[in-house]
Structure 1
Amino acid sequence: MKKLLGIGFWEIIARIILRNRVAFLCVIVFISIVMIVQWKDIKFTQTEANLIPADDKVNVDYTTFLSHFGEEGNLIVIATKDKKLFTPKAFSSWSRLMKNIQSNKEVSLVLSVNNLQKLSKNDSLNTFELTSLVDNNKIQDENYLRQIKSELFNKLPFYEGLLFNKKSGAIRSAIYLDKKIINTKARKDYVLNKLIPEIEKFESETGIDLHTSGMPYIRTLNAKTIIDEIGLFIGAALLITSLLFFFFFRSFRATLISLIIVIIGVMWSFGILGLLGYEITVLTALVPTLVIVIGFPNCIFLINKYHQEYQKHANKAKALQRVITKTGTATLMTNLTTALGFATFIATNNSLLSEFGVVTSINIIAIYLLCLLVIPIYFSYIPAPIPRHLGHLEREYLTAFMNWIVRTVKFNRFGVYTTAVILLIFGIIGIYEIKISGSIIEDMPKKTAFFDDIRFFEKEFDGVMPLEIMIDTKRKQGVLKLSNLKKMEELEQTIMEIPDLSKPLSIVNLVKYSKQAYYNGNPEYYQLPTSQEQSFILSFAKNSAKNAKNNLMKSYVDSTGQYARITTFIKDENGEKMDAIEARIKQKADNLFPPDRYNVIITGKASVFQKGTKYLLDNLLSSLLFAFLITAGLVAIMFRSFKMVLVSIIPNLLPLLMTAGLMGFLGIPLKPSTILVFGIAFGMSVDDTLRFLAQYRLELSRNDWKIKKSVFATFDDAGISMFYTSIILFFGFSVFMLSSFGGTVALGGLVALTLFFGMLSNLVLLPSLVLTLNKTLANEQVFIEPTFDILEHTDEELDELEKKKN
């Protein structure tokens, strides 16, 4: 392996690149064209992220529910508390709005005050029939509208919680979309191009503010915000990183080529998504920006090395060749470790994370190859750097910073270790304060109108996130047995006692309404029939179900009458209460419906997402441990020394623990977005460790294995690149804090903070550990001859190689 990646190998690579410049540029152009062609296959996901494997019981239960009742998340609600609604002008506009909405093929049913149907008894047919609550010929009469409002609030308890809030006076309409379009592009087109314009037209006509929500609406606007932010992230990342790059190097030419490289990388990232057939999700949308943030540090490392080489001997051709020859394996390994950090997500058994891991890993290697090829070729064509371009190697602020680090490592290692222990304790204590969030909406953009609408519906109607209970009676028509209906009513009473849940909807409500209708609409009879009443009241209800074209019963009882559905909505605070809520419902359900005779499933999007978060946490912690093991194994293979493994892991573990502790103390919960922080940060932070150790190994051979002299000489070479790349990464990831999404903000801020801690840890703690432990390491022959030749080679070694070849 040492021979494979040794001096000769990279000398050959350097010669191939520099002698075939035009060919390589043509290949890059060709690949770029191929990738651009793939853009046509890029699609945005129309489904929600399911964080649980398909064969997991949670998903099996959810799929079983969908097989009996279809897609649950097809409800859009529109509401207002404005008292002007029951005035002739406003009510007429409201009626037109609802009729226009109903006329769209994407809508299967609209329930609203203007088209509300009352249930009444037809004795001649032994059935119930629906009659209109509102006579459209009288809606210009304000007194009539007041009567309608009074009748709705006082005589139709079936619709309470569904269409009105009796306490606050809020009125809402329920729009049920065609279940076939819920996970298709047609849903997005309808919401953005038809529904929203209609709502805005109504608001303009009446001056009444409407609140709109429901899963299809939330998902559509959430997805639109993600798409809009892709351009924001790319633009901001390009601007910030290029400005920083120019500030460091003061070279327009170096900045330009770095900018071109990362732009090509961004083009390739979109092409790879199209080529692999992956959809743009909340995670893969971050990949183009990650390419920019990771690409610039590669450019910095190679260009900085080129300037250092040129400063030594003022020979451009020699400097370009030695950039590749000296640093080839080191840059390859550091990029591989970064790619491996992201690749660990592939092992999570989750398609969302696996696709993110695959795409990001491929793009990291692609941007590395671009940098390795383009930078030497570009600088071979342009004039040699002038003194102004090399001035960054001896800047006063950088020199002062590096001198402070050297002094700290040289004279205050006890203080370094004391600080590290204190920070370790801080992190461990903070970890115990971390909470796990299973909230669907917590990461949604909080400054948007649709997020405010979610909070409105949580306040007025106790939430919009569905929680479903499915009861299998294990016998046909078992649902309509009075004994089972009474058990369901008792279970619903338990649900109503839970403050975080809304009033449940089920067949029980319809049967109660049937009894009320049988007794001529008297609201005092809104209750389940007695055993004496059940035969004729339930026969009326069954006849109604057979005759009605659009009856609500089919939404809550399957076609066989064996399965019943109870729907409630949960306030999406942070998901902490979900387990307790489900446990309480499950305990009551098991008492009412013994598991040996019934099967009760608790599911729904809110429940699946919360369980998915916990599943993701377990898997990502495992993948992070896997990343540690890979890095440890790589270092062990390279240096064949357990002490070197400790030296490489400890400085990268401490920043992760500090960030975790900070999350605990600041109340930032563990959720899908923040869990990703640790894998990403570790994969990128360990690069600095490997670069430092590689340079340190080189300095040992240069300085006759004198430990202190070698450590401090390492700062003169690797320290500058480590500082530059860390600053670029810090500000690059900070770009994500411009997002409207809380999860993306947390991801960017926490990764940036962790990488900043990682830089200080690698520049201060790492050399301190090397100085402390290397009294024995320097004497280990295995360290002197590493398995992998990842180290930069001395000028003498390269000169000797050239002499042999000549």
Structure 2
Amino acid sequence: MFKLFSKDFWDVTARLILRNKIIILIGIVIATLLFSTQWKYMRFTYTEANLLPDDHEVNRIYNDFLQKFGEEGNLIVIGVKDSTLFSVEKLNAWNKLSNSFKNDTAVESVISIKDLQKLVKDTENEKFALEPFIKDSISTIKQIETLQNELFNKYPFYDNFLFNKETKTIRSAIYLNKDIVNTSARKDFVVNILIPNIEAFEAKYNLDVRVSGMPYIRTLNSQNIIKEINLFVFAALLVTSLIFFFFFRSFRATIISLIVVCIGVAWTLGIIGLLRYEVSVLTALIPPLIIVIGIPNCIFLINKYQHEVKLHGNKVKSLQRVITKIGNATLMTNVTTASGFATFILTESSLLKEFGVVASLSILAIFILCLLIIPIIYTFLPYPKDRHLEHLNKKWIGGFVNWMEWMVRKKRIAIYATSLILLVVSIIGIYQIKISGSLIEDMPQESEFVNDIRFFENEFNGIMPLEIMVDTKRKKGVMKLSTLKRMNELEDLIIETPELSKPISVVSLVKYSKQAYYNGNPKFYQLPTSQENSFILSYAKNSTSNVDLLNNFVDKTGQYARITTFMKDIGTDKMERIEENLQTKIDKVFPKEKYNITITGKALVFQKGTKYLVKNLAISLSLAIILISIFMAYMFRSARMIIVSLIPNLLPLVITAGLMGYLGVPIKPSTILVFSIAFGISVDDTIHFLAKYRQELQANNWKIKTSVYGALRETGVSMFYTSIVLFFGFSVFTISSFGGTVALGALVSATLLFAMLSNLLLLPSLLLSLERSIANKEVLRKPSINIIPEEDDIEEQNFNI
């Protein structure tokens, strides 16, 4: 039995691969076909990304609210701000458009101007009755004027719900069936019913209809994610293949690499389907990531093959050495990269867990594919031509390597000084980083639906629901006048908060009831006194119409009430300030022994999820550092080597964090991935360099300087090639319409560029400066894992190729 990292193991692996190439290729084809059968199980997510664990207190509070009052994110609003709407033809057409959605099975109810009803006093039967503002269709301008006067001046209950009396903006509310809000039926309604009908209305009546609401936003956002998966995969293939061809000047090598990464993408999609995971904003990034990570594997393997062919011209020996020498090193680098992603599995967020599982499995899969396919395909191909090997002698590459060597020889103090300055400046920048819990910040800012969000924010103070649930701890406790007064005090604070819309609750309904009791006089839109309460409640109890309205705000037992407001798209800092102000008021107004008040809603859940992710960032990054440190310690049997290997990889992370602070890029669900991804990838260069350095030490009789410069010249070219591919590969994400994805691509690209320079300049400088304490025989003579086997004269064996 062979040890996984031993020379014998890789010799046996090489023989197995090269002797069984037909069987292996057939196996890869069969595996790819099997994975392709799982694509049909890929489902695009129809819910917001829940960043919190299922059993988190914030989620439990939110789920408890949903059990009491049902899905709160089922509202779609359509609105018009145009004075010409108030004409007989257009207003009737608007009401007809709103009414047309009522018959669709996906719609629970629709409330438009035509559906608004007055609460009127029926003295004879001592009850309240509902009377429509518009009994049939509108036939005269005078009717419209009367309607405007009543809505805008006499009935504050409806103000800021379906109209803005200041700007005369009108909107209709479409409540989707709660059972379909988080299913594909929501998309069918939005794409096939809602949008076509609105577009036809706009074209016919020359009106600009604005549409928003969480179901609508989520649907269009999901469509953008689907489009961008294809865009990223195509762009990543194009960019990496162009760079690859620029380096190797070989169509053959480029096509082979593309075949490998395309199969890798097919396997990745198969893994997502096999595990029945939803395609979210995060998992959508993995296919192009696999392309970007897979191409460097191809570069290492093909570069080694061409180097060996040029060295001795023996194809069999070259292919054997590709597997035995580069296979081990590539395995280690892919394992460390996968480890960076796998740390997300240890978090309690299901979204991050799924991302970590798929990414780490896919990285290991692309390694296996590269190791099997590339050597096997080259067994069927003729020797590389001279022009394919010219890149090994490029003068500009030699000039770059010479510059690095000169810097390490002559400018070591300058390297340390620059590193220290960057460290200090970056730490200052880190303190300027902000956390963002915005639901729409990462959405395409130039898109029409984001512009519509801004429109409704300006006109109605937001569309993202924030809910306050009042538990009176006793049945029918909500309708107690003392409870209503306390709720009214809390609502006064909400009204005073500019980021929140006018609240809707049972308090408004009771005020409306008093106004109706006094024959619709708007001066009486207020809570009743204790003397008035008994008269008004007796009317309310006899009214079936009031019961229907009441069910929207109070649960069936009368113990729980909801206060609904809508929030603008604000940052985490403002959200925390608002929450703190609300909680202070709640603690002051509602005695804890009598009431239990909870603040919830999608906006708050997302904001709390972002804060939770920040904590998980520290955990996942720490786990990645610890995991890779243990690996390095085991590999080199030296705690001191951990310090030397971590410094060049942690410095780029600090620099990137500093840049985020200076450039105003906040910590959010998308940018939070930067550090673990970049660290897992950048440490690969360190492993390659130190492994080659140890080999050079043994070959050069433990001469430190000779070994450092030898390792620098040997690994510098490959590190440069792969870093350039990774830089431009991750830069592909900057073409995204999602701000978070753009930031992710730019930040990872910048971090990997810093990491390359750090590993090529700072790492060898540290080795030279600390040579006496680190680079000695006891530390490096017998590593536990021999990443790069010692050069020996491998005799050609019979591989039957």
Asked whether the two chains share a fold, i.e. TM above 0.5, the reply is yes
Task: Find 1:632's aligned residue among 629, 632, 640.
Answer: 629
Q: Which residue of 1 aligns with 2:111?
A: 111
CA contact (8 A) 2:128 2:546 kept: no
Q: Which residue of 1 aligns with 2:669?
A: 672
CA contact (8 A) 1:694 1:792 kept: no
3-state SS in 2 of match to 1:102: coil
CA contact (8 A) 1:2 1:787 kept: no
- Shift of the alpha carbon at 1:704? 1.7
Mapped partners of 2:238, 2:776: distance in 1: 48
Q: Which amino acid aligns with 2:142?
A: N
Mapped partners of 1:284, 1:418: distance in 2: 40
Say which is worse superposed, 154-163 or 776-785, in terms of deviation.
Answer: 776-785
Q: Which residue of 2 aligns with 1:238?
A: 237
CA contact (8 A) 1:161 1:503 kept: yes
Q: Which residue of 2 aligns with 1:221?
A: 220
Q: Which residue of 1 aligns with 2:766?
A: 769
* Pairing of 1:483-494 with structure 2 (within 5 A): 483-494=482-493
- Shift of the alpha carbon at 1:795? 2.8
Q: Which amino acid aligns with 2:479?
A: L
Output the aligned Cα RMSD.
1.5
Q: Which residue of 2 aligns with 1:795?
A: 792
- Shift of the alpha carbon at 1:547? 5.2
Mapped partners of 2:280, 2:125: distance in 1: 54
* Pairing of 1:499-518 with structure 2 (within 5 A): 499-518=498-517
Q: Which residue of 2 aligns with 1:293?
A: 292
Task: Find 2:619's aligned residue among 618, 622, 637.
Answer: 622
- Shift of the alpha carbon at 1:780? 3.3
Mapped partners of 2:103, 2:129: distance in 1: 23
1:8 equivalent in alignment to 2:5: no
Mapped partners of 2:323, 2:699: distance in 1: 20
1:731 equivalent in alignment to 2:732: no
3-state SS in 2 of match to 1:777: coil
Q: Which residue of 1 aligns with 2:275?
A: 276
Mapped partners of 1:142, 1:201: distance in 2: 25
Q: Which amino acid aligns with 1:409?
A: V
Q: Which amino acid aligns with 1:787?
A: S
3-state SS in 1 of match to 2:675: helix
Query: Deviation string for 1:623-680 (max 9, x for gaps)?
Result: 1011001111111001111221111100000000000000001111111111110000
Structure 1 residues 762, 123: closer, same or farther in 2, change over 3 A? same
- Shift of the alpha carbon at 1:575? 2.4
- Shift of the alpha carbon at 1:478? 0.7
Q: Which residue of 1 aligns with 2:440?
A: 441
- Shift of the alpha carbon at 1:122? 1.6
Q: Which residue of 2 aligns with 1:36?
A: 36
Query: Deviation string for 1:51-93 (max 9, x for gaps)?
Result: 1112221111111111111111111111111011111221121
Q: Which residue of 2 aligns with 1:596?
A: 593
Q: Which amino acid aligns with 2:777?
A: E
Q: Which amino acid aligns with 2:39?
A: W
Q: Which amino acid aligns with 2:635?
A: M
Q: Which amino acid aligns with 2:532?
A: E
* Pairing of 1:706-785 with structure 2 (within 5 A): 706-785=703-782
Task: Find 1:611's aligned residue among 608, 613, 626.
Answer: 608
CA contact (8 A) 2:300 2:326 kept: no
Say which is worse superposed, 64-73 or 699-708, in terms of deviation.
Answer: 699-708
3-state SS in 1 of match to 2:772: helix
CA contact (8 A) 1:330 1:792 kept: no
Q: Which residue of 2 aligns with 1:361?
A: 360
3-state SS in 2 of match to 1:179: coil
Mapped partners of 1:202, 1:377: distance in 2: 61
- Shift of the alpha carbon at 1:802? 7.6
CA contact (8 A) 1:7 1:793 kept: no
Query: Deviation string for 1:360-401 (max 9, x for gaps)?
Result: 000000000000000000111101111111111111221111
3-state SS in 1 of match to 2:163: coil
- Shift of the alpha carbon at 1:2? 9.1
Mapped partners of 1:451, 1:470: distance in 2: 29
Q: Which residue of 1 aligns with 2:82?
A: 82
Say which is worse superposed, 579-588 or 277-286, in terms of deviation.
Answer: 579-588
CA contact (8 A) 1:156 1:523 kept: yes
Mapped partners of 1:58, 1:250: distance in 2: 56
CA contact (8 A) 1:2 1:789 kept: no
CA contact (8 A) 1:338 1:683 kept: yes
- Shift of the alpha carbon at 1:716? 2.8
Q: Which residue of 2 aligns with 1:259?
A: 258
3-state SS in 1 of match to 2:468: strand
3-state SS in 1 of match to 2:443: coil
Q: Which residue of 2 aligns with 1:570?
A: 567
CA contact (8 A) 2:540 2:546 kept: no
Q: Which residue of 2 aligns with 1:47?
A: 47
Mapped partners of 2:451, 2:3: distance in 1: 63
Mapped partners of 2:127, 2:391: distance in 1: 89
* Pairing of 1:362-381 with structure 2 (within 5 A): 362-381=361-380
Task: Find 1:556's aligned residue among 553, 556, 572.
Answer: 553
- Shift of the alpha carbon at 1:548? 6.2
CA contact (8 A) 2:702 2:777 kept: no
* Pairing of 1:447-596 with structure 2 (within 5 A): 447-544=446-543, 546=544, 551-596=548-593
Mapped partners of 2:538, 2:685: distance in 1: 77
Mapped partners of 1:86, 1:658: distance in 2: 58
Q: Which amino acid aligns with 1:22?
A: I
CA contact (8 A) 1:348 1:620 kept: no
The two structures have a TM-score, normalised by structure 2, of 0.98
- Shift of the alpha carbon at 1:276? 0.7
- Shift of the alpha carbon at 1:577? 1.1
Mapped partners of 1:177, 1:116: distance in 2: 18
Q: Which residue of 1 aligns with 2:133?
A: 133
Mapped partners of 1:232, 1:206: distance in 2: 36
Mapped partners of 1:238, 1:4: distance in 2: 32
CA contact (8 A) 2:130 2:545 kept: no
Mapped partners of 1:71, 1:242: distance in 2: 47
Could you tell me the percent identity over the aligned residues? 59
Query: Deviation string for 1:473-505 (max 9, x for gaps)?
Result: 011111111111111111100111112111111
Q: Which amino acid aligns with 1:437?
A: S
- Shift of the alpha carbon at 1:309? 1.1
Q: Which amino acid aligns with 1:378?
A: I
1:95 equivalent in alignment to 2:95: yes
1:655 equivalent in alignment to 2:616: no
Mapped partners of 1:323, 1:62: distance in 2: 56
Q: Which amino acid aligns with 2:77?
A: V
Mapped partners of 2:201, 2:572: distance in 1: 35
- Shift of the alpha carbon at 1:299? 0.3
Query: Deviation string for 1:153-203 (max 9, x for gaps)?
Result: 011111111111121111111111111111111111111111111111111
Mapped partners of 2:542, 2:758: distance in 1: 75
- Shift of the alpha carbon at 1:553? 1.6
Q: Which amino acid aligns with 1:326?
A: K
Q: Which residue of 2 aligns with 1:189?
A: 188
Q: Which residue of 2 aligns with 1:163?
A: 162
Query: Deviation string for 1:414-446 (max 9, x for gaps)?
Result: 111001101111111111010111111111111
- Shift of the alpha carbon at 1:776? 3.2
Query: Deviation string for 1:302-358 (max 9, x for gaps)?
Result: 111111111110111111110111122211111000000000001111100000000
* Pairing of 1:661-700 with structure 2 (within 5 A): 661-700=658-697
Query: Deviation string for 1:519-554 (max 9, x for gaps)?
Result: 11111111111111111212222332x4568x3321
Task: Find 1:703's aligned residue among 696, 700, 722.
Answer: 700
Q: Which amino acid aligns with 1:498?
A: T
Q: Which residue of 1 aligns with 2:398?
A: 399
* Pairing of 1:296-311 with structure 2 (within 5 A): 296-311=295-310
Structure 1 residues 547, 173: closer, same or farther in 2, change over 3 A? closer
Q: Which amino acid aligns with 2:16?
A: I
